[in-house]
Structure 1
Amino acid sequence: MPVVGGSLMNRFIAKSIVMLLIAVPGVAEAGTTMRTAGKAFPPPAFLPFCARESSLCRTGGNTVVALDPAKASELKQVNSAVNNRIRERSDRANVGKDDDWRVPANYGDCEDFAILKKRELMKRGWPSSALLLTVARYRGDGHTVLTVRTSEGDLVLDNLTNAVRDWSRTPYAYFARQSQSNGRRWELIQGVAALQRAPRATAGWRP
């Protein structure tokens, strides 16, 4: 995955970790539903994205989608279709910036995949408040996925696999995600992995 070496993103990760450690005095056991722990700093490129794509930043309520077989199949279809349609390319190579969030047409990096999946699911009638952009860490680098809140737990749509997985069964250390109540805000995510890997948070960022 392409490296994005912006100081803004490094500061975002560092501030998020400090807030997480303050907000969570003990380690919460990871389960099938993410637990949030208060306000987080949004990724630096997120607010400019929201200014362009306001419909993708609107949420409200605490919607949990009832996951029947048809809905489960739809998640798999959208995840696979976007992964097969979009070719991975760094923001620098794609648009000439180190960090840029957008709805991709042909090329993009991980957050662009997640954004397109959110839009495609919203087109199919999925509520935006159940579709939350989420940032994590993987092998020392940043990563963005789409978290879908369902009756069967919080599921992750990921550009690195066509499988739709429970968030607690992925190899990521999760930091923050869009708030369900206000899609322009972000919330910290509790979890054993996030706390255990926190000291590595300022090493660098890959979207």
Structure 2
Amino acid sequence: MRTGVSKRIKASVRGLVAGLAAVASLAWVPLAEAQTLASLPTSGLAASITGAARPIAAWTEFCERYASECAVDRNEATSITLTPAIWQTINIVNRRVNKAVHAVTDQDHWNLADRWDLAEDGQGDCEDFQLRKRAMLAEAGLPRRAMRMTVVIDEKGEGHAVLTLITDRGDLILDNKTSAVLPWRQTGYTYIKRESQDAVAWVGLGVAVSPVTTANR
């Protein structure tokens, strides 16, 4: 059983921190670009929790291999307070992982219908992108408890996984289908369930029937 993030992810975070320091030191960055990097999303609503929900089976198996990725530390903050620096970090991680990971189905990758992983070999499907982003953001200092894996129905009517960031400006979504970090209501998805903030469990977000897997790219 693996319990921590890999050396590869830690190296990615070290590179991210160095990159952020370099950006901060560039006095020649145009004012408009600097304002874009620093601009924060407007305040929005949080998704409503409807009760307990059954976990995705592949998530349960993932937690057996990566216990620390699923553990809930009740001493951590339940919400991320967005600052310009944190907002910039979130956007850079989202774009970097979306660019670095090659999208491939679990069937082609592992010969399995659904498998959750950290895309440490540079390949993965939707949930693997989001798990890698969370590992990097947690390593950079954001509270894991405020970053919850979430199951939705996408624009094709298929099961899909995104990462919800619970913030003081509402719930924001990291997705491998776009490098824009969007408020949850603006994604066009139907929200089904997400990881609980209080236990190694899941909570419901609506009344739609849950998909069995999230195995699409």
What displacement does 1:63 show?
1.1
Matched, 1:116 2:132: yes
Residue identity opposite 1:137 in structure 2: I
Indicate conservation of the 8 Å contact 2:107/2:113, yes or no.
Answer: yes
Instruction: Find the counterpart in structure 1 of residue 204 from structure 2.
Output: 188
What displacement does 1:69 show?
0.8
Question: CA separation of 1:50/1:202 partners in 2, compared to 1, >3 Å: closer, same or farther?
Answer: closer
Matched, 1:90 2:101: no
Question: CA separation of 1:206/1:51 partners in 2, compared to 1, >3 Å: closer, same or farther?
Answer: closer
Matched, 1:60 2:77: no
Instruction: Find the counterpart in structure 1 of residue 187 from structure 2.
Output: 170
**Higher RCO, 1 vs 2 (CA within 8 Å, ≥6 residues apart):** 1
SS in 2 for 1:32: coil
Question: CA separation of 1:185/1:70 partners in 2, compared to 1, >3 Å: closer, same or farther?
Answer: same
Instruction: Find the counterpart in structure 1 of residue 11 from structure 2.
Output: none
What displacement does 1:175 show?
0.3
**One of 25, 30, 47 as aligned partner of 1:34:** 47
Q: Using the alignment, how far apart are the partners of 2:83 and 2:90 within structure 1? A: 11
Q: Following superposition of structure 1 onto structure 2, how do residues 45-84 of structure 1 map, counting pairs within 5 Å?
A: 45-61=58-74, 63-84=78-99
Q: Using the alignment, how far apart are the partners of 1:202 and 1:175 within structure 2? A: 9
RMSD: 1.8
Indicate conservation of the 8 Å contact 1:141/1:203, yes or no.
Answer: no
Unaligned runs of 5+ in 2: 1-43
Query: For 1:139-173, what per-residue CA distance to the aligned partner results, in whole angstroms no more than 9, with x for missing partners?
Result: 21011000011111111000000000011111100
Query: For 1:12-51, what per-residue CA distance to the aligned partner results, in whole angstroms no more than 9, with x for missing partners?
Result: xxxxxxxxxxxxxxxxxxx620111111000010111001
How many aligned residue pairs are there? 169
SS in 2 for 1:168: helix
Instruction: Find the counterpart in structure 2 of residue 148 from structure 1.
Output: 165
Question: CA separation of 1:131/1:142 partners in 2, compared to 1, >3 Å: closer, same or farther?
Answer: same
What displacement does 1:204 show?
8.3
Q: Using the alignment, how far apart are the partners of 1:88 and 1:76 within structure 2? A: 19
What displacement does 1:137 show?
0.1
Instruction: Find the counterpart in structure 1 of residue 22 from structure 2.
Output: none
SS in 2 for 1:164: strand
Q: TM-score, normalised by structure 1?
A: 0.77
Q: TM-score, normalised by structure 2?
A: 0.74
What displacement does 1:205 show?
5.8
What displacement does 1:60 show?
3.5
**One of 130, 148, 153 as aligned partner of 1:132:** 148
- Tell me which stretches of 4 or more aligned residues in structure 1 moved more than 6 Å: none
Unaligned runs of 5+ in 1: 1-30
Indicate conservation of the 8 Å contact 2:55/2:201, yes or no.
Answer: yes
Between the aligned residues of both structures, percent identity stands at 35
Bigger CA radius of gyration: 2
Indicate conservation of the 8 Å contact 2:114/2:213, yes or no.
Answer: no
